[in-house]
Structure 1
Amino acid sequence: MTPPLPPELPAILVVDDEIRSQEALRRTLEEDFEVFTASTAEDALTVLEREWIRIVLCDQRMPGTSGVALLRQVRERWPDAIRIIISGYTDSEDIIAGINEAGIYQYLLKPWQPEQLLLTLKSAAEAARLHADNQRLAMELRTAGPVLEKQVHSRRESVRQRFALDAVLRAPDSPMNAVCALIRKLAALDIPVLLTGESGTGKELLARALHYDSPRASEAFVVENCGALPDQLLESELFGHKRGAFTGAFEDRIGLFKQADGGTMLLDEIGETSAAFQVKLLRVLQEGEMRPVGASRPLPVDVRVIAATNRDLETEVREGRFREDLYYRLAALTVTVPPLRERPMDIPLIAAALVEETQQALGRRFAPLSREVITCLQAWRWPGNVRELRNEVLRMIALADGDELAAAHLSPRVLRAAEEAEEHALSAASGNPLGPLSGDLKTRLETLEARIVRECLIRHRWNKTQAARELGLSRVGLRSKLTRYGLDRD
């Protein structure tokens, strides 16, 4: 017969042939346990077959079968039940022999004290609960093993696809295509690579793509910004340290190089490191081993190192600020990442991706970027590269009144750059007065007026009514100026 599900209170079976003793134990335990009683071994076995018993508390001296003999049977048939013997005889050979044979959890002496008895039984109930939880977890892990393995593999593939070279945003005519083609070739070669380029151009993104397209893709990819920490902390972070190596080293620490063992390490801003640290880093690259701070022996490491910098390391070497031997260890091959101003064709793709990323985080939807916004973004030179572009996207989203992202919400410097680019194009094509300020006073005033009118129109997304109101003109007057300055073509 299958016993019912476990009760909310842990169930305890009290086996004692003395009724008065049974009742005393029931009164003591009934607030914390669901109490069942039996006067003989046969009755006890019947209860065990019918109920989900977590603890068996058994008197040793009973007619017919002793407590130890009963608990031997309990161990064989219900091994998960906690077995406790209670007796008034301290030298009983049966009890001593049965502690191991019957798997007795606790041996209690009469007369028992209620507080001590409750404490012992509560501890036994917790031990039983933990044992049941461990068994259930082990069973779940056995049955879920293939599922978990499949989920881990799926997650690894998802990360690999997200950071693969094919995921790097670039237009068909982008100079990034040549960079990605080179990265693809280098991925299969287990050699150090140096990534150079301005800050914010995506060097870390390319380093991840290189790692996830390489044979080391299943291992760790670890990043450390070498310019963010002083030498001692950087050495501890990368190489680890032993307990007591310096003030505050309260325990051993595994360094990032050891965490990346078998995988790839990106050392960002490598040009910011000191000469003393460069010597220690050189040993790791030359010998394939590192020494944690305070350790007596070096540890072997197998890590592919990718270095990144926005400095010209060849100049740094010539001027004595960077070790020449370390430079040649890091730069088996150098990849230069072009700045955003040299690839304006990529700006629409990157800006759209930034909008998608932000709207997912905010739980809002926005209309696709208009041609006007894209034209303004492509006109700016982006000294801060993709980081600066992200800020402009966030600015438009923060100032948006509805679901449209307007050019009027771009920074003034971006709007001026778009205006100047348009003026230059029109001036070169037809000598339009939107060109540079030159000529007599009347011509220069007209040029300034045309610029003011166009900038106002851009801010109001070419809403002529709003622009005319701001400029203090009628719609007819504004339309006349647009025709005069050739702005009606916009």
Structure 2
Amino acid sequence: MAVQPAVLLVDDEPRSLEALVRTLEDDFVLFTAGSAAEALSILSSEFIQVIVSDQRMPDRTGVEFLQQVREEYPAIVRIILSGYTDNADIISAVNEAGIYQYLLKPWRPESLLLTVQGAAELHRLQQENQSLNIELKSSAPWLQAQVEKKRTEVQQRSAMERIVRAPDSPLNHVCDLLLRVAPFDIAVLIEGESGVGKELLARALHYVSHRKDRPFIVENCAAMPEQLLESELFGHKRGSFSGAYRDHIGLFQQADGGTIFLDEIGETSPAFQAKLLRVLQEGEIRPVGSSRPIKVDVRVVSATNKTLQDLVKQGLFREDLFYRLSAFSVVVPPLRERPQDIPFIANSLLDQAKAHFQRPQATLGKEILQCLSAYRWPGNVRQLRNEISRLLVLSDASELSAKNLSAEVLQAADEGQEAEHAFLANVSGDLKTRLDALEKQIIKETLTRLRWNKTKVASELGLSRVGLRNKLTRYGLEK
């Protein structure tokens, strides 16, 4: 079994430390410290991958502490927590201490967990990259072949035909449109609800284009303050603003020759929109504090969970930028509008989860797939992924149990069965056929409601265990 990453939590407030521990204890080996001095003592004896530090501490600030960590333990990924939102402080933290992520209080447990998981994965990749660099010096030809092999695997895994969907999926039309536009260097706008897979489609678009051997860079425009977003995308010169202690190469320049994906583009400010428009018009960026423009050759793919045309009408988004970004646009239908995709996506997500949780024998039964297909999934694929993980964690048997579905999914299944029951009660046919259909429906409804506890089901229906088993076999309901 894989060893859990080690995370050091630094906060002088015991209650804050307790909250951090409760959020992270299931996924990491945790060490806690109430001061920077105590944290440094732990670092001298333990192998730590990630540090989460509060900014306000009595002996020194979190930035000052993490700056020392950066000098003495540069491989550790550093995260800071703060209740203050001053842009200068954020930029200073990012530059002085090499902060991986700056989280504002009050933090949300799920957001913190995802951030620390990402930091731990970054540390793993950095260590792997360092090992590869060492090996590269002695076996460059072999490693070059491996890099090419990996690149080919990524391209194949991200190709459009690997987008999981049913043969008759409404998503087929979206994929066909993106395949047609892929060879042409025009901006693409992908609209759709959160969690429908907009980034996945953007990545697939990149890997079927002639830019596939160049970088694919992702930036969530809603995740940063305006000044920091400008610096992140366009770069900055040392001394251009408070906290800019060294030159920074922006993501547009890093993506030169490739594709940049701007997620949540509708959340940007009018001032930033004006600067982005100039980049798209001129094909060049100007780092903050620089008088010299830099030419870049980048394809821009943007995404939003809102309707940009509505934002234009409301005066919240520049009309000229909208037309620049939407030279070609597609709308990704939500999962509730393509229920035929749900079994395919659910099984694909299960395969991913099985590898992560080391449950290779787990399968989704017919009953579970029926329940999943009956639900509307307001959180789309992202929510479905969480539901699959829940099933895998809570179920002991190789075939996952419907009783471990969340309450809202089971309720949707019950409502769907009631509708089916009403339909069956009115279908034509002889009396025995109608009675059999009604009995089958009642048994299905009771099984779902009682979470497949067959003893309780038999008792409620007035059947013996043997009698219930015979009826389950007769109606094809046996799991």
2:193 alignment partner in structure 1:
198
2:310 paired with 1:315: yes
1:350 pairs with 345, 353, 358, which one?
A: 345
1:158 alignment partner in structure 2:
153
2:463 alignment partner in structure 1:
475
SS in 1 for 2:142: helix
Aligned length, in residue pairs = 333
SS in 2 for 1:377: helix
1:17 alignment partner in structure 2:
none
Are the equivalent residues in 1 in contact too, given 2:450–2:457 (CA < 8 A)?
A: yes
Are the equivalent residues in 2 in contact too, given 1:407–1:459 (CA < 8 A)?
A: no
Distance 1:213 1:488 in 2: 47
1:294 pairs with 274, 289, 292, which one?
A: 289
Are the equivalent residues in 2 in contact too, given 1:468–1:478 (CA < 8 A)?
A: no
Map 1:445-460 → 2, pairs under 5 A: 455-458=445-448
2:224 paired with 1:229: yes
Change (3 A) 1:359 1:407: same
Map 1:72-471 → 2, pairs under 5 A: 144-431=139-426, 455-458=445-448, 462-469=452-459, 471=460
SS in 1 for 2:378: coil
Deviation at 1:141, TM superposition (A): 6.0
Query: What percentage of residue pairs aligned between the two structures are identical?
Result: 55
Cα deviation digits, residues 149-171 of structure 1 (max 9, x gap): 21111111011001000110011
1:59 alignment partner in structure 2:
none
Q: Determine which structure has greater relative contact order: mean sequence separation of CA pairs < 8 Å that are 6+ residues apart, divided by chain length.
A: 2
SS in 2 for 1:366: coil
Query: What is the TM-score of this pair, normalised by structure 2?
Result: 0.65
- Point out where structure 2 has 5 or more consecutive residues left out of the alignment: 1-131, 428-437
- Point out where structure 1 has 5 or more consecutive residues left out of the alignment: 1-136, 433-446
Are the equivalent residues in 2 in contact too, given 1:271–1:322 (CA < 8 A)?
A: yes
Deviation at 1:403, TM superposition (A): 2.0
Amino acid at match of 2:423: A
Distance 2:133 2:223 in 1: 44
Are the equivalent residues in 1 in contact too, given 2:454–2:465 (CA < 8 A)?
A: no
Change (3 A) 1:416 1:431: farther
The structure with the larger Rg is 1
Deviation at 1:383, TM superposition (A): 0.6
Query: What is the TM-score of this pair, normalised by structure 1?
Result: 0.63
Distance 1:477 1:150 in 2: 61
Cα deviation digits, residues 289-337 of structure 1 (max 9, x gap): 1111111211111100001001111111111110000000000011110
Deviation at 1:400, TM superposition (A): 0.6
Distance 1:229 1:322 in 2: 18
Distance 2:133 2:357 in 1: 40
SS in 2 for 1:350: helix
Amino acid at match of 1:321: L
Distance 1:476 1:141 in 2: 69
Distance 2:301 2:134 in 1: 43
Deviation at 1:240, TM superposition (A): 0.7
SS in 1 for 2:219: strand
Deviation at 1:181, TM superposition (A): 0.7
Are the equivalent residues in 1 in contact too, given 2:458–2:464 (CA < 8 A)?
A: no
Amino acid at match of 2:384: L
SS in 1 for 2:194: coil
Distance 1:150 1:299 in 2: 33
SS in 2 for 1:383: coil
Map 1:51-90 → 2, pairs under 5 A: none
Change (3 A) 1:139 1:375: closer
Deviation at 1:474, TM superposition (A): 4.7
SS in 2 for 1:254: coil
Distance 1:248 1:142 in 2: 36
Amino acid at match of 1:221: F
Distance 1:170 1:285 in 2: 34
Are the equivalent residues in 1 in contact too, given 2:215–2:255 (CA < 8 A)?
A: yes
Are the equivalent residues in 2 in contact too, given 1:464–1:475 (CA < 8 A)?
A: no
Change (3 A) 1:188 1:461: same
Change (3 A) 1:457 1:478: farther
RMSD: 2.9
Deviation at 1:351, TM superposition (A): 0.8
2:58 alignment partner in structure 1:
none
Are the equivalent residues in 2 in contact too, given 1:409–1:459 (CA < 8 A)?
A: no
Deviation at 1:287, TM superposition (A): 0.0
Are the equivalent residues in 2 in contact too, given 1:465–1:475 (CA < 8 A)?
A: no
SS in 1 for 2:246: coil
Deviation at 1:402, TM superposition (A): 2.5
